[in-house]
A and B are shown apart, each in its own frame.
Chain A
Amino acid sequence: MICNIVIVGVGGQGVITLARILGEAAVKSACSVLASEVHGMAQRGGSVVVHVRIGFKEQVHAPLVGKGQANIMVCLEALEALRNIFYANEKTILIINERIIRPGIPVNKIPSLVEVLEALKSCKLTYHTLKAEDIAKEIGIPFAANTIMLGALMGLETLPLSKEAVEEAIATILPKKYVEKNLEAFERGWKIIKQMSSQ
C-alpha cells in the first residue's frame, strides 16, 4: 500500500518541516518513503507544494504524486488548497487551515474563506477545517500551526504510522526548546480531528 500525501501552503509556514517529520517517522516505521521539496526561488512567500509518498510493504519509486492521486491533502492555507485541488479525487480527504494569506504582489480581489469552502463543497469533497493559528497562539507557540495540522493528519488514523513514531520524529527534528510545546500542539490537532470524525 502506498499513501500519497500532498501538503500545500505558503513559503515560511513550515510546509517542508512538516514533510520532513512525516518522512522521518516513516523511516523509523520501516516504511519506504520519498518526499519532494522545492527550495530557492520557489520558496519566498510563494506557493509551496510538497509531496510525501509512504509505502507500507511496498517500495516507493518516484517522488511526485500524480493528478487525482492524493489520498490526503494537508492545506496550511485555503487559497493553496483550491489552487492544488487537481491532486484530489472524490475520495481524497482534505484538512484545511482556516486561513487566507494575501499574495505578496498587489492583486485585485482575494477570495474569502467562505467562497473557498463553498467551491470545495461544490467539488463534492470531504474536508475538515480548523483554525490552526488560533490554537497555536492559545498554546503559546504562534508559529506551530504546521504541527497542529500534522496532529490533525495523524488523527485521521489512515497513515501506516503510529502516533508515537511521529511524536518521536518531532522530538528528533525540532530544536529542543520547542519540542514540548510542539508535542502539545500535535496532541491538540490530533484531538480536534478525532472529535470531528466521531461526530
Chain B
Amino acid sequence: MNKISVNKSGLEVLLLGNEAIARGALEAGVRVATGYPGTPSTEIIEALAEVSEEMGIYVEWSTNEKIALEVAMGASMCGLRSLAAMKHVGLNVAMDPFMSSAYTGAIGGLIIVSADDPSCHSSQNEQDNRLAGLHALIPVMEPYSPGEAKEIVKEAFDFSEKHETPVILRTTTRVSHSRGNVRLGNIEVRASKGHFEKNVKRWVLIPSNARVRRGLLLEKWDDIKRDLSHFKYNRFEDHESDETIIASGIAYGYVKEAVRALGLEEKVNILKISTPVPLPEKLVGECLESSKRVLVVEELEPVVEFQVKKLAFELGLNCSIYGKNIVPRQGELNSDIVVDVLRAFFKSNLKATATPVDLPKKPIIPPRPPVLCPGCPHRATFYALKRAVGILKLKPVYTGDIGCYTLGVLPPYEMTDTTICMGASIGLANGLSKFQENPVIAFIGDSTFFHSGIPSLINAVYNDSPMLVVIMDNRTTAMTGHQPHPGTGVRADGSTTASIRIEDLAKACGVDYVYTIDPFNLEDSTNTFRKALKTLIDYKKPIVVVSRRECVLITVSRARREGRRLPKFRVDVDKCTGCSVCTRIFGCPAISIVEEKAVIDDTLCTGCGVCLQVCPYKAIYEVEA
C-alpha cells in the first residue's frame, strides 16, 4: 500500500483509486472512517487505518455495513466529517439506516462510498447503486479516475455540509482498482470531538416527525438539483455540434478515448456528468436545447438516460435521445464497446483501428478459474467432510456463503449448492432443512458469521431447523486481503482488543452440539464430522463444527518475515502409483502428475502436509527444509 499521509502539497504521485479516495478524505479533514471489507472497496479503510494514529483520526472495521454506516452517522450527528465505505451489495445490508439518513440528514459531512462492480468481477450481482440515491433522495457523485476521485471526495464533504445531506460517492471496479496520477493537496486537521445537539424533531423518526422530515427532504432535493448545475466536475465540452454525448462517471473516459480513436474530437459535444443523481437539470437542459441528437453513455442502468428523457419531455424538446437502445446494459464498458456505440450513433463506417489477432484454433487452452491456494485449510475441511459424508452415504444439500470457501463450488469438491449473499448459508439452511429430506450443511467463514450469520443461527435454534453449520475459521477476512474481525483480537489500526470466541457464541445462541477441529488433522476431522452428522440425523438439531486453522497466506508471510523455512515434501517414486488422489480428488495445485508420478512444485507448496495424510500409498514424505 502507498502511505497516504505524505504532507507534500503539489506533489504528483501514483495512487490506487481507493487510496486517492482515502487521501481526499484526509485533505477534507475526515475524522471518522468505517467500513466492512468488500471488493472493490476495501483499500479505502485499509489506507486510512494505516495512518489513523499519525493523523489522529478514528478508523474501524465494523462488524457489518449497517453498523459501519450507523457509526459514521453518529459521528456526523456530532459535527464530525465521516465516511463509511462498502461494496455495492454492502449498501443492501446498510439500507435501513441509509434510507432514514436522508430524512435526518448530516451535520458533519457524511460520505457513503459505494464501490460498485459492473461485470461482477468479485460479486454476486452488478447492481447500480446510483439508483439507491434516487430511491433514498441522496445525491450521488461519480468520479471517472483516481485523480478526480480525490478531488470529488473533497467537494462531496463540502456539499454534504452545505445541504445537510449524506452524499454517495459511487465508484466502480475500474476507478477503485486503477492506479493513476494524483496531485496531492494539503491535509486538513479538524477537532476530533464534537457535540451532539439534542433535536427530537430531527433525530427521532417517529411517524409525526418523519412526515415533516419527508416534506423538508423533497424541498431540499430541488435545492440540491439547482446547486449541482454549478458543480465543478460537471462540464460541457462545446464544439458547436448538433450532436451531444452525455457521459457519466468512467463512461466519460471511454467516450474520450473512443472519440479520439475515431477522429471525432472537434466534431461532437461532450457533456461530462459527475453527479448523475439528481441530474443537474439547468446544465443538462441548456445542452439539450442546443442539440438535435443526444447519446447517453453510462454503465449498467439508464439512470442518467431516463432523467434526461424526462427533462427533455418537461422542456418540450424534440431532440432524439439514444441510450440503452445502443449502449449495453450488462457488464462494464470499455473503449472498444464505446467505439461500436459511436459507430451506431453516427450510422457511419468510421475506420476501425488495429485488427486484433484471432485466437488460434489449436491448442485448446484449459480454463483457469481462481482456486483455493495450495495449503488452504478450506480444502482440507472440504476433504474431511466429503469423506465423512461418503462413509455415511449421505446426499447433503450444501449452502455456501461469501468468502474464499465459495470456491468449494469448483471441481474436485463441488460442495456448494447455493450462494446468495452474506450470511445466507445459515439463513437458507433454515428453509432447506424443513422442506426436503436430505441433510443440510451450511458453510460460513469466521468474518461472515460475525457479519450476518448469528441471527440465522439463533433462528435455527428457535425454530428447530436441523443443520450442520461448518464455521470455517481461518482467523481473518481472507478473500479481501486479510482484514481483522471481532474474532481476531485485533482492530483495524492494529491495536489489540477482546477476541470473541465463536464456540461461545454458538453455545450462547442455544446450540447444544459444538465441536472444534483442526482441518490439517484429517483423521480427527473426518471422525468429528462423522460424529456431528450422526448427531444431526439422530437428534435433528442445529450442530456447529468450528474448523479452525489460520489462512495459509498469513502463515507463509509470517514465516518469511521471521526467516523460517516452510516444511518441504517429496514423493517416493517407488511407492507412488500415479493414482492422482492428491491432484484429482484432494486437488492440491502444487502437485502435478508427470510421467505417471506425482511431483511437488516447491515454488507453490506451502508445506501444509495434508497430502501426506491423503496419499493412499504413503508415498509422500517430509524432507529437511
Contact B335 A37 (CB under 8 A): no
Determine the distance from Cα of A123 to Cα of B357 in the docked complex, in whole angstroms: 7
Contact A88 B357 (CB under 8 A): yes
Least Cβ distance of B582 to chain A in Å? 11
Segment from B21-29, B162-170, B298-306, B359-367 that makes contact with A? B359-367
Least CB separation from A104: chain B residue: B371
Interface string of A117-157 (1 = CB under 8 A from B): 00110110100000001000000001100000000000000
Determine the distance from Cα of A46 to Cα of B532 in the docked complex, in whole angstroms: 34
From known contacts A41-B479, A66-B336, infer whether A105 and B371 are also in contact, taking CB-CB under 8 Å.
yes
Determine the distance from Cα of A63 to Cα of B370 in the docked complex, in whole angstroms: 23
Q: Which of A23, A42, A45 contacts B121 (CB 8 A)?
A: A42
A3 sits at the interface (CB 8 A) = no
Query: Which residues of the other chain, B, contact A45 by a CB distance below 8 angstroms?
Result: 368, 370-373, 589
B101 sits at the interface (CB 8 A) = no
Total interface residues in chain A, CB < 8 Å:
67
Contact A24 B14 (CB under 8 A): yes
From known contacts A23-B179, A66-B336, A104-B589, infer whether A109 and B356 are also in contact, taking CB-CB under 8 Å.
no
Contact A40 B479 (CB under 8 A): yes
Determine the distance from Cα of A24 to Cα of B15 in the docked complex, in whole angstroms: 9
Query: Which residues of the other chain, A, contact B480 by a CB distance below 8 angstroms?
Result: 39-40
Query: Which residues of the other chain, A, contact B363 by a CB distance below 8 angstroms?
Result: 82, 111, 115-116, 119
Query: Which residues of the other chain, A, contact B373 by a CB distance below 8 angstroms?
Result: 12, 44-45
Prevailing SS type, chain A contact patch: loop
B584 sits at the interface (CB 8 A) = yes
Least Cβ distance of B154 to chain A in Å? 21
Segment from B53-61, B223-231, B404-412 that makes contact with A? B404-412
Contact A27 B370 (CB under 8 A): no
Query: Which residues of the other chain, A, contact B181 by a CB distance below 8 angstroms?
Result: 27, 32-33
Interface string of A44-75 (1 = CB under 8 A from B): 11110000000000001111101111000000
Interface string of B350-361 (1 = CB under 8 A from A): 000111111110
Least CB separation from B590: chain A residue: A104
Least Cβ distance of A52 to chain B in Å? 9
Contact B354 A89 (CB under 8 A): yes
Q: How many A-B residue pairs have CB under 8 A?
A: 201
From known contacts A27-B13, A44-B370, A111-B364, infer whether A85 and B359 are also in contact, taking CB-CB under 8 Å.
yes
Determine the distance from Cα of A96 to Cα of B253 in the docked complex, in whole angstroms: 31
Contact B365 A41 (CB under 8 A): no
B555 sits at the interface (CB 8 A) = no
Query: Which residues of the other chain, B, contact A46 by a CB distance below 8 angstroms?
Result: 368-371
Which interface class (under 10, 10 to 19, 20 to 34, 35 or more) fits B?
A: 35 or more
Query: Which residues of the other chain, A, contact B256 by a CB distance below 8 angstroms?
Result: 61-62
- Chain B 363-398 residues near chain A, CB threshold 8 A: 363-373
Determine the distance from Cα of A82 to Cα of B404 in the docked complex, in whole angstroms: 27
Least CB separation from B373: chain A residue: A44
Contact B334 A82 (CB under 8 A): no
Least CB separation from A86: chain B residue: B356
Contact B360 A40 (CB under 8 A): no
From known contacts A61-B253, A61-B257, infer whether A11 and B370 are also in contact, taking CB-CB under 8 Å.
yes
From known contacts A27-B14, A39-B481, A61-B256, infer whether A83 and B364 are also in contact, taking CB-CB under 8 Å.
no
- Chain A 1-47 residues near chain B, CB threshold 8 A: 10-12, 19-20, 23-24, 26-27, 30, 32-47
Least Cβ distance of B401 to chain A in Å? 13
A87 sits at the interface (CB 8 A) = yes
Query: Which residues of the other chain, A, contact B367 by a CB distance below 8 angstroms?
Result: 103, 105, 107
Contact B366 A64 (CB under 8 A): no
B39 sits at the interface (CB 8 A) = yes
Interface string of B240-278 (1 = CB under 8 A from A): 000000000010111011000000000000000000000
B527 sits at the interface (CB 8 A) = no
Least CB separation from A79: chain B residue: B365
Determine the distance from Cα of A102 to Cα of B374 in the docked complex, in whole angstroms: 13
Query: Which residues of the other chain, B, contact A86 by a CB distance below 8 angstroms?
Result: 356-359
Least Cβ distance of A17 to chain B in Å? 12
Query: Which residues of the other chain, A, contact B335 by a CB distance below 8 angstroms?
Result: 62, 64, 66, 69
Determine the distance from Cα of A140 to Cα of B368 in the docked complex, in whole angstroms: 29
Contact B354 A133 (CB under 8 A): no
Q: A90-B357, A111-B366 are in contact. List 5 more A-B contacts (CB 8 A).
A: A38-B122, A39-B39, A62-B257, A63-B253, A82-B359
List 24 A-B residue pairs with CB atoms under 8 Å apart, sorted by A's residue number. Answer: A20-B14, A20-B179, A24-B14, A34-B179, A38-B121, A40-B39, A42-B121, A44-B370, A45-B370, A45-B373, A46-B369, A61-B144, A61-B252, A61-B254, A62-B253, A63-B178, A63-B180, A68-B357, A69-B335, A69-B336, A85-B357, A104-B368, A106-B411, A106-B587
Which chain A residues have a beta carbon within 8 Å of chain B's beta carbons? 10-12, 19-20, 23-24, 26-27, 30, 32-47, 60-64, 66-69, 79-80, 82-83, 85-92, 102-111, 115-116, 119-120, 122-123, 125, 133, 142-143
Closest 10 pairs between A and B when the two form their complex, measured CB to CB: A104-B371, A68-B356, A40-B39, A46-B370, A111-B363, A40-B122, A62-B253, A104-B589, A89-B354, A66-B336
Which chain B residues have a beta carbon within 8 Å of chain A's beta carbons? 12-14, 16, 39-40, 42, 121-123, 144-146, 173-174, 177-181, 250, 252-254, 256-257, 334-336, 339, 353-360, 362-373, 404, 406-407, 410-412, 479-481, 583-584, 587, 589, 592, 603
